[in-house]
């Protein structure tokens, strides 16, 4: 399914160019907005649908539409990606969000005290202030992020600010009776950053504070959360090592952020921000702070601040790991991250492919090493590229041939079948644009001829012109209307000719009768009956030429139906009955007499 999506255009606008990865509840892609003059990048999230029952889809659809309104509000913050679009296509739900150019915070964190340098106190404080201000806004909107981790914090390239991505604001589904969060369904990268209460679906606003504190500690120590030891009695985390360069005040702040029991943590992002603002500028001022530190409890102090229960009231929990909506942001890793070159190489290869450099794209994709996480995707993509490229070239040649032969309809129909490759589509689009202009000129000419012949009461020729106008024409609506109108008028005119033939035959004027019958169009329901009478009247016409009897004896020789037809009342009844029984078009509201006058002007 992933490879099938590469190159696909959603909503006639968002063309998928790269796979970013899958989560428990969806797949994330990079796309380009081909409807925009500059073709900017964006992120497309395809939500996983696990059922096909109408009731399930209706429930999912309602939740999707409701929760995306919250996501739109969150996107108003400068450090949260903007939600560009949300839609349903082929019973699948999609979210489109702005692409954040930058790198993940993982590229800045020290790994095992070996890769990168440990963060300084000032860097930790700056980091906390930056993210806490975002969380303050998020929580004010009634949403708890519930998946704060380095991968979801992006250092934006343009201004170096951190951007929070990957929101999950829809309530969890299909998690059993106890509504607990199974560990096996969590993204691996989330483990260690998720606080205990989230595993039993009891996330609080300060659950995000716990995750943020764990990231800050990782920056200070170089140890990932799962590498830290846990106190077997309190379940609190031992993190402050002897050589950790941090003062007691900041250490106490971080320790209270990651308390095991959420009731012992800071209650809100606002509280943490206030404490950080009160932080002494010099080490000698630390003793002025209202907390106690004991060497025996690993310097895990307890601040005495009153929590604000109003900040908790009305909060809605959205576990990103259990959510229907996730992956709303995206990043490209920094150059010093090993995954960057591999992911970026595949993306660059896709750009080359879309730009028309197939061999260059394949060469880039092949440069990805077998031990890369995107290696299998790159290999599969190469095969698909070759196949799609060959098909696109063949279709383009067919478009060129049709264009040289002035077969405008074939140009448009074949151009629509060209695979989603920007290089080939741009080439075919030029020919298709020219073909459409020529088609419109041709269609207008045929429509004008149809009008002219209909004015001359030659509805058969008018209909023939209309039938030559293709469905691709912008005039197709008026063409359908005129086809119906002219068919009706042609059938009534045919009935009129047959009636006149009967009248002429009743008067013994078989020459006149034959002349009227010969005007009955072949593609009318009454044509077969007119032909039978034409044969009969032609024979009588010959007999009449051989012998001319008196009027009375001639009338006595007329067929019974023609005798009846000589009566004015019978004529009207016959005409009305014929129209209702013989024509294929419903004429219940017709006034046959009026149409007889209209079609018999000439």
Rounded Cα distance, 30 and 6, in Å: 9
Quote the DSSP letter at residue 243. Answer: T
Q: Which two tokens stand for residue 28?
A: 């994330």
178 among known catalytic residues: no
Rounded Cα distance, 332 and 582, in Å: 72
Yes or no: say if 429 and 415 are a contact pair by the CB < 8 Å rule: yes
Number of H helices, E strands in the chain: 19, 13
Rounded Cα distance, 454 and 461, in Å: 8
Is 476 a known ligand-binding residue? no
Yes or no: say if 169 and 325 are a contact pair by the CB < 8 Å rule: yes
* 578: CB partners within 8 A, 6+ apart: 495, 498, 499, 526
Q: Which two tokens stand for residue 408?
A: 């405008």
| Alpha-carbon torsion, ordered 208, 212, 218, 224, to 10 deg | 20
SS3 content of the chain, % helix, strand, coil (to 5): 55, 10, 35
User: What's the full length of the chain, in residues?
Assistant: 602
Output the CA torsion sign for 244, 246, 249, 255: negative
Please name which of 288, 282, 215 lies closest in space to residue 247, comparing C-alpha atoms: 282
Please name which of 579, 402, 559, 387 lies closest in space to residue 494, comparing C-alpha atoms: 579
Largest CA distance in the chain: 141
Yes or no: say if 118 and 221 are a contact pair by the CB < 8 Å rule: yes
Rounded Cα distance, 482 and 455, in Å: 12
Yes or no: say if 262 and 197 are a contact pair by the CB < 8 Å rule: yes
Beta strands 26-33 and 14-23, pairing class? antiparallel
| 33, 147, 166, 458: the active-site residue | 147
Please report, in range form, the residues annotated as the binding site for ATP.
45
Please report, in range form, the residues annotated as the binding site.
45
Which residues are tagged catalytic? 147
């Amino acid at each position: 399914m992933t490879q099938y999506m590469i190159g696909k255009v959603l909503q006639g606008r968002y063309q998928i160019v790269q796979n970013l990865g899958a989560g428990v509840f969806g797949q994330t892609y990079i796309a380009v907005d081909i409807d925009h003059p500059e073709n900017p990048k964006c992120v497309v999230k395809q939500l996983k649908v696990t059922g096909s029952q109408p009731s399930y889809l209706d429930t999912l659809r309602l939740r999707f539409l409701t929760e995306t309104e919250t996501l739109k509000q969150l996107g108003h913050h400068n450090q949260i990606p903007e939600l560009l679009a949300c839609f349903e296509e082929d019973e699948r739900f999609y979210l489109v969000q702005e692409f954040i150019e930058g790198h993940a915070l993982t590229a800045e964190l020290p790994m095992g005290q070996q890769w990168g340098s440990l963060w300084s106190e000032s860097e930790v404080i700056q980091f906390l202030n930056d993210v806490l201000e975002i969380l303050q806004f998020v929580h004010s909107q009634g949403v708890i992020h519930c998946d704060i981790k380095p991968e979801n914090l992006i250092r934006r390239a343009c201004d170096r600010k951190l951007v929070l991505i990957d929101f999950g604001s829809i309530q969890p589904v299909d998690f059993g009776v106890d509504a607990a969060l199974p560990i096996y369904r969590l993204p691996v990268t989330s483990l260690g950053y998720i606080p205990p209460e989230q595993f039993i679906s009891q996330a609080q606003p300060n659950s995000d504070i716990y995750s943020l504190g764990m990231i800050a500690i990782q920056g200070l120590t170089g140890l990932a959360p799962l590498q830290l030891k846990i106190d077997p009695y309190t379940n609190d985390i031992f993190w402050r090592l002897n050589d950790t360069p941090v003062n007691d005040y900041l250490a106490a702040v971080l320790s209270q952020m990651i308390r095991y029991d959420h009731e012992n943590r800071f209650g809100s992002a606002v509280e943490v921000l206030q404490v950080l603002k009160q932080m002494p500028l010099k080490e000698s001022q630390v003793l002025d702070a209202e907390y106690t530190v004991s060497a025996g409890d690993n310097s895990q102090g307890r601040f005495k601040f009153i929590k604000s229960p109003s900040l908790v009231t009305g909060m809605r929990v959205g576990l990103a790991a259990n959510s229907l909506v996730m992956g709303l942001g995206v990043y490209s890793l920094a150059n010093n991250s090993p995954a960057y070159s591999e992911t970026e190489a595949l993306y660059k290869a896709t750009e080359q492919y879309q730009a028309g450099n197939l061999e260059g794209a394949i060469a880039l994709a092949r440069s990805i090493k077998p031990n890369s996480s995107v290696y299998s995707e790159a290999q599969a993509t190469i095969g698909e590229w070759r196949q799609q490229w060959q098909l696109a070239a063949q279709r383009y040649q067919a478009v060129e041939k049709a264009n040289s032969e002035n077969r405008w309809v074939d140009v448009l129909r074949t151009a629509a079948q060209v695979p989603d490759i920007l290089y080939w589509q741009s080439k075919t689009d030029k020919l298709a644009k020219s073909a459409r202009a020529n088609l419109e000129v041709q269609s207008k000419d045929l429509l004008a001829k149809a009008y002219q012949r209909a004015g001359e009461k030659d509805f058969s020729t008018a209909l023939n012109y209309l039938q030559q106008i293709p469905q691709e024409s912008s005039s197709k609506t008026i063409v359908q209307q005129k086809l119906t109108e002219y068919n009706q008028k042609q059938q009534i005119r045919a009935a009129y000719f047959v009636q006149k033939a009967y009248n002429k035959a009743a008067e013994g004027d078989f020459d006149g009768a034959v002349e009227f019958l010969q005007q009955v169009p072949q593609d009318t329901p009454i044509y077969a009956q007119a032909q039978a009478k034409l044969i009969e009247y032609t024979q009588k016409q010959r007999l009449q030429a051989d012998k001319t009897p008196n009027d009375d004896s001639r009338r006595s020789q007329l067929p019974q139906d023609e005798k009846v037809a000589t009566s004015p009342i019978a004529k009207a009844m016959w005409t009305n009955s014929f129209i209702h029984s013989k024509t294929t078009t419903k004429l219940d509201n017709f006034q046959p007499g009026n149409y007889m006058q209209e079609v018999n002007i000439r």
